[in-house]
Amino acid sequence: MLLMLAATGSLRGEQDLRTPLIVTVVANLVNAALNIEFVYGLGWGIRGSALGTTVATWASATWLVGIVVVRARHAGARVSPHPAGVLTAVRDAVPLFARTVTLRLALLLPVLLAARLGDAPLAAHQIATAVVTVIAYALDALAIAGQGRGRARSLPAWCHRSGKAVAT
């Protein structure tokens, strides 16, 4: 999954949003077909589902990384990591790492509290979280599309207004 995220980020940096979309759709179709075959056709149950998902994920990661490597070589960029660049990236990533850890804790603590209250509050929390996540992904997708179209300045304001409207 990390390979897919890194490759998708690289392609987004090139303003190529279509390639990750195509790879994701194909990977999900392959995943569904493999899961049906492994779970029902071969009767492997949950192991078949895990295997189908693993195969589809690795195939899509390989496909995306291959595209990035071919484009990097075509542009004359180095494909192997440079030690100084890796150290710089690690140093620059410390604030992002701290943000991610605190965000995960902020998402985990309400789940723990809802779980202590019982099944119904936990289910309600899960539904609310799912709704907010879908809205966040939709707004993020609009922001990404706007950046790709050169509308990066006007789109965040629209997303902010939309977010406030949905929240109320």
Confidence of residue 153 (pLDDT cuts 50, 70, 90): low
- Looking at the predicted structure, is the pLDDT value of residue 25 above 80? yes
Confidence of residue 45 (pLDDT cuts 50, 70, 90): very high
- Looking at the predicted structure, is the pLDDT value of residue 33 above 90? yes
Q: Residues 53-83: pLDDT tens digits?
A: 999 999 999 999 999 999 989 988 888 888 8
CA neighbor of 71 nearest in space, from 11, 1, 2, 15: 11
Confidence of residue 168 (pLDDT cuts 50, 70, 90): low
Round to whole Å and give the CA distance between 112 and 35: 32
